[in-house]
Amino acid sequence: MFFHLFRYLAGCIIGATLYLALLRVIASIARRNAVQKYRCQAPAAYPHKDPFFGLDSVRDAICAAKARSSIARQIHQYAQYGSTFSSKFFTTPVISTIEPENVKAVLSTHFEDYSVGSRRKEAFFPLLGRSIFQVDGPQWKHSRHLLQSCFARDQVDDLQVLDVHVSKLINALPTNGAMVDLGDWFPRLTADVTTACFFGHTIDSLGNDSLSFGAEFVKAIHDAQDGCEERWKIGVFAKVVPQREFYRNVKRIHDFMDQHIETAIASFNSSSRISKDNKAQQDRHVFLHDLREVTDDRQVLRDELLTIFIASVDTSAAVLTNLFFVLAKRPDIWQLLRNEVAPLSGGKPDIDQLQSMRYHQYCLKESLRLHPIALSNSRTAYKDTILPRGGGADYQSPVFVAKGTMVAFGIAAMHRSKSLWGEDADEFRPERWGNEKQSWKFIPFNGGPRVCIGERFAMNLTTYTLVRLVQSFHSLESQDDGDWVEGAHLACTSHNGAKVILRAS
């Protein structure tokens, strides 16, 4: 009896092993055929000191982030190993690239071949759960569809709500020659606008006298995002490294969000008492309310809302802070901006006027080029696929991408590549945008089906804020002698903020 059982089990194990071996042989034949068919060549290889897990590279990345030199490291790597090279990230094979054609393939033409990757999902799971940012395939399509109505043009082009909060900001800023760090104020503006537009109830941090209002929450958000990034970097070790402070921050944030959601729902439920003043706000699609029509599950509400909050607040504030850091040192550009708003004679722009402010938009794009908010991004291949460029000695041959490979793109390095942008790629020169066309070498909002859903909202928010500040202050003087230094947070913002003196018009 025992012997028969043993024979049966041994047969099963041998059968399974043979079956797996056969699958491997079939896969490797298919790979060899694909490599031949598309004339793929291997990209340059990163010279790892640790060829098994690539830990040397992980350690270097962590050190560079701490030294605020991630951008310099990225540029140096592509200069040294070429525009596409292979490396290791723990057990995962990685192909890094700054070839616009490859970026287009990953994000658009071969979109279905890639996922956002299990590493990112695991790293952000405690904070964001299974929100739009965290899922692929049908689940992602469902989330994206849910969000769509709130990002329709008539919604995001409505400047009324924006104006309430930008006006509050302008009134709050000192004009008596006192120094102010705009890097402290922009996150309050973007938090107020985001909660007003998407939660239907603003946290009104600008309406509160104390600068410390919400500071604990904002700090918890920053720390938790840093924690997620750390988890991403240490990969599998995240499961064993104790992260008590990270989980404490996550709890703080979730408690705050739950409380805010309840308040927003209560205020929505009492909509019969809407005053006329609130009518414009109530006529908008409010994401929280739309979402509630579909689900009452508080965890789903929190995951999606927190994702919108994080995706919107720090990113938009970072763009403004980075831009004002530069503008404060460039009175020539400030004057050109002043010239562009002059025809408004102090009046507030409507959406058509806003979108015709070419020079304002050039400045924002130039800021996003030189100081992108996401310095890099990646996708993981769901199945064997091909990158169109990067192989061979001249980097021009297609590259075979095996299932499970991570394709990383160095956004900061690509945005500053001299071969893509010209010799003045390191300079802040808004005029360049007069000759630039839409292309895959500029991806501050990603691209393809998964392009940032808030792009138009963010551009309206930042352009409107810029226009109104340019109208309100005739000069802006930097109080910082140094160069722009990268911040170490997920949304890359000026480490030293934007310390300025403003003079009213």
Under the binding rule (CB under 6 A), the answer on residue 191 touching ligand HEM is no
Least separation, in Å, of the C-beta of 440 and ligand HEM? 13
Q: How many helices (H) and strands (E) does the chain have?
A: 20, 11
Q: Give the three-class secondary structure for 475.
A: strand
Q: Residue 323 CB, nearest distance to ligand HEM (Å)?
A: 10
Site string for ligand HEM, 274-313 (x = CB under 6 A): ---------------------------------xx--xx-
Cβ atoms within 10 Å of 268's Cβ, excluding its own: 17
Candidates 316, 376, 493, 494; binder of ligand HEM (CB under 6 A) is 316
In the bound state with ligand HEM, the residue whose beta carbon lies nearer, of 217 and 457, is 457
Contact 158, 196 (CB under 8 A): no
Angle at 465 between CA 463 and CA 471, to 5 degrees: 100
Query: Residue 380 is encoded by which pair of tokens?
Result: 């993981």
Interface with ligand HEM (CB under 6 A), residue from 57, 102, 315, 417: 315
Give whichever of 333 and 452 is closer to ligand HEM, judged by the CB atom. Answer: 452
Whether 190 and 461 have beta carbons less than 8 Å apart is answered as yes
Site string for ligand HEM, 361-380 (x = CB under 6 A): ------------xx--x---
63 is in an annotated binding site: no
Pick one of 114, 124, 133, 395: the residue that binds ligand HEM (CB under 6 A): 133
Contact region for ligand HEM (CB under 6 A) — 8-16, 42-50, 416-424, 448-456?
448-456
Per CB under 6 A, does 446 bind ligand HEM?
A: yes
In the complex with ligand HEM, which residue's Cβ is closer, 180 or 458?
A: 458
Residue 97 to residue 383: CA distance in whole angstroms: 19
Q: How many CA atoms lie within 13 A of 321 on its CB side?
A: 32
Contact 107, 448 (CB under 8 A): yes
Side-chain half-sphere of 370: how many Cα atoms within 13 Å? Answer: 21
Which region, judged by CB under 6 A, interacts with ligand HEM, from 11-19, 62-70, 350-358, 440-448? Answer: 440-448
Identify any residues that bridge with 446 across adjacent strands, giving them in sequence order.
Answer: 444
To the nearest whole angstrom, how small is the minimum distance from the Cβ of residue 140 to ligand HEM? 6
Is residue 103 part of the contact set for ligand HEM (CB under 6 A)? no
Residue from 454, 468, 492, 499 in contact with ligand HEM (CB under 6 A): 454
Q: Is 453 in the site for ligand HEM (CB under 6 A)?
A: yes
HSE value, Cβ hemisphere, 13 Å, CA-based, for 139: 12
44 or 288: CB nearest ligand HEM: 288
Q: What does each C-alpha distance from 263 to 199, 254, 267 come to in angstroms? A: 10, 14, 6
- Least distance (Å) from ligand HEM to the CB of residue 37? 30
Task: Return the sign of the alpha-carbon dihedral for residues 443, 446, 449, 454.
Answer: negative
Comparing CB distances to ligand HEM, the nearer of 114 and 217 is: 114
Q: How many residues bind ligand HEM (CB under 6 A)?
A: 23
Which residues lie below 8 Å from residue 111, measured CB to CB, with a gap of 6+? 448, 449, 450
Instruction: Give the C-alpha distances (Å, rounded to integers) separating 286 from 157, 231, 246.
Output: 14, 33, 30
Q: Of 65 and 452, which CB lies nearer to ligand HEM in the complex structure?
A: 452
Closest by CA to 409, choosing from 78, 168, 171, is 78
Structure tokens at 391: 């192989």
CB of 133 to ligand HEM, least distance (A): 5
On whether the CB atoms of residues 488 and 173 are closer than 8 A, the answer is no
Determine contact, residues 174/180, Cβ cutoff 8 Å: yes
- Nearest CB to ligand HEM, comparing residues 44 and 381: 381
Within 231-270, which residues bind ligand HEM (CB under 6 A)? Answer: none
Chain mean position to CA 140 = 17
Which residue, 35 or 320, is less far from ligand HEM as judged by CB?
A: 320
In this structure, what DSSP letter does residue 495 have? T
CA-CA distance, 428 to 442, in Å (whole number)? 15
Shortest Å distance, C-beta 63 to ligand HEM:
24
Measured from the CB atom, the residue of 56 and 455 that comes closer to ligand HEM is 455
Q: Work out whether 444 is an interface residue with ligand HEM (CB under 6 A).
A: yes
* Annotated binding-site residue numbers: 452
Task: Give the interface with ligand HEM as residue ranges (CB under 6 A).
Answer: 132-133, 144, 194, 307-308, 311-312, 315-316, 319, 373-374, 377, 444-446, 450, 452-454, 457-458
